[in-house]
Structure 1
């Protein structure tokens, strides 16, 4: 009987679904929104610290880069400058005179990664990362399984730009402009593709967020795939996510948290629409627990204090004709949270040469009873929680030029 039970348990373990061992990784993620500057010490140092501190072995994966050799060498040098002992893993579709499929199954490469304290994915084309690491049947290559082992046992998985996109189970792949994504929608196998899923199956991740107005394209993607929570991280900025699912923002700017838990769409409308999205801005130094939904402001926000809606800093209407422009959504949110006005509007229209010139979108933000703002005591920064966002299509009349 004892032998039978052992055999039964072994059989059950063998039949367990792939990824069962990944339910509770003990490591951390450092998700960088792209354009990470070499002098952004707080982010680089945190990666090295989470990998084990001074002398930590960090495997650099240049798989996404147009020039894997050059990008890998530069990133390893940056990490080493901040105290790591980084090395480049020669695994990329674009590496000349190498077979990336063979390299992905190479036991020596897999062992070198498994013995490291961290892994760093460079930027570029995220589709090249999944092409290099995922087998044609969708299973994990030996190298990808080694990367997961690093994460499971407590190491750090870091990535910038494309290396951030692969952190969720769905990622943008062949993308159009943000406006065209709203106007034409998203589809699996075209705009959307499977990511590597380090953050779990319940959180959608996007990058270059505020600088490129990409918060808007998160909405159709999240609706398409059923995500209730999304995190978008800006350039030269990182989200650190630990095993307790606590997010900490580091670096230059911040991240947007998109909550679709109470959102609804009008199925009778022809074009994209959504109502009752809750949008929050997490500034550098802020923390947010994805499980408990608890927000902890940074020290300078604690000192600056919670904003008093009865004592607004301004009474001016808030409006922008280009909500998809550089940092436009953040500027609008900051103006609204410390204002006697309770509503703000942003407009998006097609750019020159884009399809659907007659279509536009209104982004309507509302400050609600549970909307909260914190002001920094040392900078002009804000942390903003629970603004309501409604998006509806507009009919645009264009001038006729002869």
Structure 2
């Protein structure tokens, strides 16, 4: 059972300070399930922290067994050339007082002198509980982490360590479909994160593996985000101060833009039209401010010609929230003579709204662009249109 440790109002007030200069550092945000053999991600983290021998503070605050998790992460980083150390600030550290540890100036100093900080996975609520004071202000340790970021260091994290990067994070959401059918609320499904990525971008993780692109939408609408980045497992994005995004690792990330989206207010259930959905593959770069895309090296000459599609087939799925399904549909649509794809999501038995499902319609229009890799069966897809509307689901006539 997760427990919020500070009031939402107080926590949201502490996220940023108006007098602070914009951070000079980088963020490395991994989508969860980051394998220890994913050399490109770990090596990049060490590089951003200062190169071989770089001091990196490991924060196991989210972990169920922080001693074990912290030691393993430090060992992994050291294998890739870092000089990593564990910061023992976690609610579940045995025989320690996390509130006292979070105000320890010796620990804060050790972090401040590091070139990077890395948050492990686990329960993101435990991170904010350990690092934020009851009045919503930053503890000494959290302020030291911000100091690393502001002076040019790297802040990294995976899974729960990715969730806290946003000013808002998912906290206690039961199912992806439930966030659409029942809605999201502050203090339950949503809670304030630590806000390293700023207030203009929503970040989510385990994206393609768990179909979480759908749950990004109600959170973004609720909190006023126009852009959201969902990172897949064993994959990371790097964001610098110029708002350049680079994708590294195993797969990629979904970019959602709701700046032009509209809702039918006469329909009581969740609906949304003209969301723009893009898939950024590994090696791709994208600027969140200018919306300029720079293809990975293997896609430089791989822009698809919409006048010469490779296929002419219907694209449909009865489970668009399934593992990787939305990406497969996007890939099939981007070089298809057909312009539309339909995916359905239905409730599981026992869900609060068993009668409610959703249709996700993907449309390739004049703004949609695709790039194909020259060396692998991989694509980048930019600016498909996505419309979401509710469906009435009839249960079986008899049981």
TM-score range, shorter chain: over 0.9
1:239 to 237, 253, 256: 237
Q: Deviation per CA, 1:71-121, whole angstroms, max 9, x where unpaired? A: 000000000000000000000001111111111110000000000000000
The change in CA–CA distance for 1:211 and 1:279 in structure 2 (over 3 A counts) is: same
Alignment size in residue pairs: 385
Q: Contact 2:78–2:84 (CA<8 Å) still a contact in 1?
A: yes
Whether 2:388 is the aligned partner of 1:385: answer no
Match runs of 1:85-234 below 5 Å: 85-234=83-232
Whether 2:82 is the aligned partner of 1:84: answer yes
Counterpart Cα distance in 1 of 2:16 and 2:72: 35
Counterpart Cα distance in 2 of 1:248 and 1:391: 28
State TM-score, norm by structure 1. 0.95
Counterpart Cα distance in 2 of 1:332 and 1:137: 46
User: How big is the shift at 1:353?
Assistant: 2.1
Counterpart Cα distance in 2 of 1:33 and 1:19: 27
Counterpart Cα distance in 1 of 2:362 and 2:17: 39
1:67 aligned partner: 65
Counterpart Cα distance in 2 of 1:18 and 1:130: 14
Counterpart Cα distance in 2 of 1:291 and 1:25: 16
User: How big is the shift at 1:398?
Assistant: 1.6
User: How big is the shift at 1:400?
Assistant: 3.3
SS in 2 for 1:370: coil
1:9 aligned partner: none
Whether 2:251 is the aligned partner of 1:260: answer no
Higher Rg of the two aligned structures: 1
Counterpart Cα distance in 2 of 1:68 and 1:74: 10
Counterpart Cα distance in 2 of 1:28 and 1:220: 28
User: How big is the shift at 1:26?
Assistant: 0.5
CA root-mean-square deviation: 1.0
SS in 2 for 1:201: coil
Please list every run of 5 or more consecutive structure 1 residues that lacks an aligned counterpart in the other structure. Answer: 1-16
Q: Deviation per CA, 1:26-60, whole angstroms, max 9, x where unpaired? A: 00000000000111000000000000000000000
1:5 aligned partner: none
1:277 aligned partner: 275
Q: Contact 2:121–2:160 (CA<8 Å) still a contact in 1?
A: yes
Q: Deviation per CA, 1:215-265, whole angstroms, max 9, x where unpaired? A: 000000000000000000000000001121100000000000000110111
User: How big is the shift at 1:20?
Assistant: 2.4
2:362 aligned partner: 365
Counterpart Cα distance in 2 of 1:260 and 1:18: 24
State TM-score, norm by structure 2. 0.95
Please list every run of 5 or more consecutive structure 2 residues that lacks an aligned counterpart in the other structure. Answer: 1-14
Counterpart Cα distance in 2 of 1:137 and 1:111: 23
User: How big is the shift at 1:22?
Assistant: 4.0
Counterpart Cα distance in 2 of 1:101 and 1:156: 25
2:9 aligned partner: none
1:318 aligned partner: 315
Counterpart Cα distance in 2 of 1:400 and 1:122: 48
Q: Contact 2:21–2:150 (CA<8 Å) still a contact in 1?
A: no
Misfit runs of 4+, over 2 Å: 20-23
1:248 aligned partner: 246
2:335 aligned partner: 338
User: How big is the shift at 1:18?
Assistant: 5.3
Whether 2:317 is the aligned partner of 1:308: answer no
The change in CA–CA distance for 1:18 and 1:330 in structure 2 (over 3 A counts) is: closer
